[in-house]
Structures are given as C-alpha cells and as structure tokens.
Structure 1
C-alpha cells in the first residue's frame, strides 16, 4: 500500500530531526570560545547544560499535547483519546532514569564520534529485552533472543572499530574513546529501565505518548536545572574539561555562548529537533507502524555517519560499516521486521508466526489500570 503525502512527511521529519538531534549535540561540543573573566579559549564541554536543553524540547511535547487536545475538542465529534487520569508522579522514576542516562550519554559524546554514539545506543535492545522478561513477565521468541545475541556481536565490532581508529584519532585519545563507548553502553542499561517503566505506566494508565514524554520532560527540566546549582561547586578534577574543573560550570557555558553565538544555534538545534523527533516518532507509530519507526531510527545512524564523514568529523573505517549492518540485523530480528516483510509476500505469508503476546500483555496492563482507577 502506497504511503500518503502526510505519511511521507512524517517519515522524513522523523529521519531528519532524529539525525539533527545527535549532530547538533556533537556540533556544540566542537566549538571553542573564551569563558568568564577572559579565561583562555577552550572547548564547549557542558553536557548537563545540553541535557537541560533536551528536556526543554521534551517539555514542548506537553504543550503540543494540550494544543492538539484543545483543537480536537472544538470539533463536532472529538476523536483524540486523552487517556485516563493518572498521578503525574508516576512518571518521576522514568524521568530520573531519562535524566541520568541522557547526562551520561552527553558526557560520552565529548569522548567519542557521533556515529559510534548512535550505533552503540542500539545496546538498549539487549537490556530492554532482558528487563521486560524480568519485570513485565514477557516471553521472548527465538528471533528476539537471536536479535539480542547479534546486537551484542555488533557492539563488539563497533567497539573494535573505535579501538583501532583510536590510535589514529587526533581529536580523542584511545582511553577517552573507549571510556566514552563504555559510558554509552552503561547509559543504555538505565535507558532500558526507563523504557520498561514507561511501557508499564503508558499502557496501564492508557497515557497519550506525547503527554508521557512531556511529563518526563517537565520533571527532567526542573530537577536538572536545580541540580546545576550544586554541580557548579562539586570539584571533579581532570574528569571535567571546564576551567574550574567542576562537575558543570553553567556560568562558563553562558559566557562561551555570549562570545560565540554559533553555540546557541547548535543548542537550539538540539532542543527543537528533540521536540519534533518525539512528535514525528509517535505519529509514525500511529499513522504507519512501529516497525517503520524502528527502520527510520536505524536509518538515521547512516545519515549521522555520512554527514560526519562529509564534514571531516571522523575518518572512514570499514569495521564501522560491518558493525552497523550487524546491529541493523539484530534490531530487525528483535523487532520482528522479518515477519513483517514475509507477510507482504503472498507465497510466504503462511510462514509468519502469529504472536499476540504483546497485545495480550498490553490489554492486561490496561485492565489493571482500569481496576485501580475504579477502586
């Protein structure tokens, strides 16, 4: 079935904004400027300030949700499902997970390349699968276990590519690259906890995804903005790249922005792109399919890699191509893309295994939420 113009627009928007999000964050890291009190010119290394900007973008999703809701209620026959009422504090735990994982990843992005950053984020499949078995009672099929094992192999290949290219990289030391890679994988453990909590709450309380993202953005923005105050006074030695060697020097960030306005352009690109990316991703799932969303999310890794090569941000390494292909196969198997493709071929449709477990699980969570609401 051919896509409509609106569906094509959504797919293009998701691919574009998803790629801009990572590229803008890396672009900000590459700027240099003098800091406060005319401190010597240094790199813009402020991962926690960047994370605040990302949560501001997520917070915009909450505003978008209420605007869409108001517009829908003006219709003669409203069609938008606003979901059940729920305690917003339910989303505080996943918001804390999101905040922690995001901050760790932005620290890691200062140490490794944008393409490796995006590829290694694929590790979330491994931990999400294992945690969903442990805490959601999900049963993974053989293809999903195979997807997890292949993803692990892909991560090893990408890590090996970073290890080999680290000897030739003038921008980052080998130890920094490997540390950055390990931090990204560590962050995916926390991101997996976030996803499991989100799935449980979103389906159990029938929460609109835009409202869920926006609520987490609200908590993340408020909490991390307040944490910037103590971070300004916590010394971390050589771990930090700011002049005062503290966990986060927010004043230095603003001074650098004032002396190099291009930095604010990169930060705005990060903030605006995350808002549109979340909106487009949710819309793609609704208008097309979750499988299409997975494919587009994998394709943005290619876009980020090609753009990084074109801009001279990194060097070509054949192992990265192999690593990406292996990760893509792992993601495809885990997300049951092979069944989706076979179902489109009439002669192979009978080979597709019918598995209604995810739908049944979501129905169970939704029923639990209704029972709790009635009691």
Structure 2
C-alpha cells in the first residue's frame, strides 16, 4: 500500500524514505566520529589521529553543495520533487512559499538578494558545526548527538523573550525535562572520564567537549531564530537551492576565511598552528581508508539533506521531528554494535555509567514529546502518572490543528505547500487570517480538494 504523500498517509514508500533518511542521518554522526579516530601519517612523518574539525566542517558544506547540481537537474529536466512546481511559463518552477492561484502568473524567479541573504544562516551553521566538531573530539558520538538536542532550551528562550512568541506552560515543562537530560548526560561524561584516551595519546577534556557542543547548540538556535524571522518571507527559494547555497557560502568562508585564520593562529597542529591544511592533505594522501571514510561522510551528508526534504514532503514536519529524535537512539545503538561485534578500534563501550546516559536519553525523548504536544507522537500532560501529575488544557491548540489542514487542488498536488527544512523546526504556525485567505482562494477555483498538513514541530 503506497501513501499519497504530502502528509496524506504512511505507506510503504514513506516508510522506505523515512528509514533511508534515518540511516543517512545516523551515518553523518558516526562517520564524523570515525574520521576523528582514524590514524594516518602526516607531513611530519608521524602516525596520528585525524583530528581536523575544520576540514570536517568544510566537507559537510561541500556535501551540501551537491544539492545545487540536483536543483539544476530538477529544474532542467522537470523532475518531480517537493517544493518545485514545473510549468510552461518562463519561470520554470515556483519558489517555496504560499502563493495564491490568482497570483501565480506574476510569480518571479528567486531574486539575487536571496542568494546573498542565505550567507547569514550559513555563517550560523558554520560556527555551530565547527564548535560541535571540536567538542566531538573530546566525547563519544552518542553524547554528542544527545547534547545537540539542547537547542530546544535556547530556542525556547529566544522565542519567548526575543521573538515575542510566548510559550505555553506545558512547553516550559518540556524544556525543563530537556535541561534535566543535559544534566544527566553531563554527569555521565564527568563520571566516566579517564585520565587519557587509553592509547598513550593526548589527554581528552570531556567537560570542554560538553561546553563546546552546548555552545554549538546555542549558535544553532540563533540560526533557527533568524530563519523563523526571515526565511518564512513570501519570497523564498526551492529547498534544494536553499541547501546548496548554504553549502556554497559555508565552503567559501571555510576555504578563504577560516583556513587562512587557523593557519596563522597558534595551536597544537603541525607547525604550531590551529589547523594545518597541508598536514590534512598529507594524511588524506597517505591513507586509502581515510579517503573511503571521507567519501562515506560526504555521501551521508548529501543523502540526509535530500531525504529529509522528502520526509517532510511525503509525510509532514512532525515526522521530520521524529526522524531527528530517533537519531540519538540509532547513533548510540550502532556505536555499541560496532564496538562489540565489528571492531574495538571504533565504536563505544558500555560502562557502569551508561545507565545514567540511558536515563538521560529517555528524559530527552520525554521532554521533546511533551514540548511537541498535541501533535501526533507527543505526550499530553493530563494529570496522570506519565504526566508527572501535571495537567494542561490543549483544546484550543487541537482546534488550530484541525484548521491547519489546508485545502489543495488534487490536480495540483505537486504544488502543495512545503515547509523547507531550512526554516526553523520551531516555526510558529501560520496565522488564522492567512489560512482563511488560502482557503477562500482555493474555494474560488471550484476544484476538487485534498487536505495537506501544514503543522510545524520541534526537530
């Protein structure tokens, strides 16, 4: 049985895409950590770990650049893809956004200034990724993946106090449980810390790693806040173009700004600098395994971005949120499997403190489910034991969820409204007035309609 897409159902096609996206997302985190733990001979002739966080950040953005070629192919060959409307007019495709049928003829191509505006979220993403990569060198990948969930805490504060989008009481309960999960994960890191990495290498600083990842999550929350304020404008861009341009700007800044800066600042890399690109190149040249792993890293980034678009389109944004919430589970589970069944050179060992981390994982998932209410897959606080005896009224929000089912002509299914993954996962729902305008415009056409979910969700 196949689903019809656009949030209409969950059939075999939707399940396959969701699983593939989960595999690619898990691969992003695991290959990133494996790269940091792999060894090769550098330009100084010494065998050492490939601890090059800036190079990995650059690799991530290069992987995102590949979306530009996919975007060009979709437009040129009119390939069906979420967020694109192929027509015979001079535009070739319609931009992501909400445009009434009456205005479709006057729709313009993506303006030049939009390409440059995408530099701003790219810079946020660049800083966040670089901080998280440096933190990942100090902690296990499962800890890293869970700590990135702390973005909900910072975004909640920004939404409430900076964007003027007041959070409901139950949302603050969800945020509180996420704080508790961060405390539990941090405690696991501190309690399980060892004097060195067990291989005579340099001493790790797990607490420093935790702080760097939390700093990265904070910067990521600034990106979300910017996207909610700006990227939801009526003039926007197709999703693959958004992904590709963010990758393009990130690549330019990494290669021509950050690398020269890091090469001239003092650090622990070869030559006494922060990160030496010549040493990175030498290590890549001297290890075929390193080259293969970097290729897998590149491909996992590209496919995750593309498949995440399809998950949001074929199901809805709630499933995109579920996808991201599943990643800490699959990352940790796969890491344990690698250590015990593949090789002890990589992966993660279960320790006596792992139960504390496991508790933190359950608390993280619980807090996120509470925050997401009353969407599907969430937990409503109704006063029971599972609600920790807290009770809130969701009736008005449930009425809004019904109204967020937008009527879309069946004949124009490919043109269904699409929420870009580069808009904030904390996006405020559309106003009642805008939804009513869309409904009136749709009814004016006198066509047969189908419902398409427009709900936003925490990711």
Q: TM-score band (shorter)?
A: 0.7 to 0.9
In structure 2, C-alpha distance between the alignment counterparts of 1:361 and 1:322, rounded to whole Å: 40
Please show how residues 24-43 of structure 1 align to structure 2 within 5 Å: 24-38=31-45, 40-43=46-49
Please name the residue that 1:151 is paired with: 178
Greater fraction of residues in helix: 1
After superposition, residues 331-346 of structure 1 pair within 5 angstroms as 331-336=368-373, 338-341=374-377
Q: Which moved more, 1:50-59 or 1:312-321?
A: 312-321
Instruction: Report the secondary structure of 1:33's partner residue.
Output: strand
1:229 pairs with 2:260: yes
Where in structure 2 are the equivalents of 1:144-223 lying within 5 Å?
Answer: 144-167=171-194, 170-171=197-198, 176-204=205-233, 205-223=235-253
How many Å separate the matches in 2 of 1:223 and 1:314?
33
Task: Give the equivalent residue in structure 2 for 1:268.
Answer: 295
Q: Please give the per-residue CA displacement for 1:3-37, whole angstroms capped at 9, x wherever unaligned.
A: 23321221012100000001001111111111114
Q: Deviations over 1:85-125 (max 9, x none)?
A: 23112111211111111111111111110000000000111
Deviations 1:197-244 (A, max 9, x none): 1233321133333222221111100110113133222212xxx3x333
Is the contact made by 2:336 and 2:348 (CA closer than 8 Å) also made in structure 1? yes
**Is this contact kept in 1: 2:64–2:305, CA < 8 A?**
yes
TM-score (norm 1): 0.86
Residues 1:278 and 2:305 aligned together: yes
CA distance in 2, matches of 1:48, 1:199: 28
Q: Does structure 2 conserve the Cα–Cα contact (< 8 Å) formed by 1:166 and 1:177?
A: yes
Q: Distance in 2 between matches of 1:111 and 1:342?
A: 33
Please report the RMSD computed on the Cα atoms of aligned residues, expressed in angstroms: 2.9
Contact 1:202–1:212 (CA under 8 A) maintained in structure 2: no
Query: Residue in 2 aligned with 1:315?
Result: 349
Structure of greater relative contact order (alpha carbons < 8 Å, 6+ residues apart): 1
> Residues 1-375 of structure 1: matches in 2 within 5 Å?
3-38=10-45, 40-72=46-78, 81-83=94-96, 85-86=110-111, 87=113, 88-167=115-194, 170-171=197-198, 176-204=205-233, 205-227=235-257, 228-236=259-267, 240=268, 242-312=269-339, 313-316=347-350, 317-336=354-373, 338-341=374-377, 353-355=398-400, 358-360=429-431
CA–CA separation in structure 2 for the residues paired with 1:261 and 1:142: 54
Q: Distance in 2 between matches of 1:206 and 1:134?
A: 26
* Preserved CA contact (<8 Å) 2:372 2:378: no
Structure 1: segments with no counterpart, 5+ residues: 344-348, 368-375
Return closer, same or farther for 1:342/1:254 CA change in 2, 3 Å cut-off. closer
Query: Is contact 1:201–1:207 with CA below 8 Å preserved after alignment?
Result: no
Residues 152 and 250 of structure 1: CA distance in aligned 2, closer, same or farther (over 3 Å): same
Instruction: Write the distance in 1 (CA, Å) between the matches of 2:17 and 2:321.
Output: 14
- Higher-Rg member (1/2): 2
Name the CA distance, whole Å, in 1 between partners of 2:242 and 2:296: 22
Tell me, in whole angstroms, the C-alpha distance in 1 between the residues paired with 2:289 and 2:301.
19
Give the structure 2 partner of residue 372 of structure 1: none
Mapped contact 2:121–2:226 kept (Cα < 8 A): yes
List runs of 5+ in structure 2 lacking aligned partners.
Answer: 1-7, 81-85, 97-107, 340-346, 380-393, 402-427, 439-459
Distance, in Å, in 1 between the alignment partners of 2:287 and 2:93 is: 44
CA drift of 1:305 comes to 0.5
Q: C-alpha distance in 2, partners of 1:146/1:260?
A: 49
Aligned length: 355
TM-score under structure 2 length normalisation: 0.71
**How many Å separate the matches in 2 of 1:179 and 1:362?**
48
Indicate conservation of the 8 Å contact 2:60/2:301, yes or no: yes
Of stretches 277-286 and 3-12 in structure 1, the one that deviates more from structure 2 is 3-12
Tell me the secondary structure at the aligned position of residue 273 of structure 2. Answer: coil
**In structure 1, what is the Cα distance between the partners aligned to 2:15 and 2:274?**
43
Change (3 A) 1:26 1:235: same
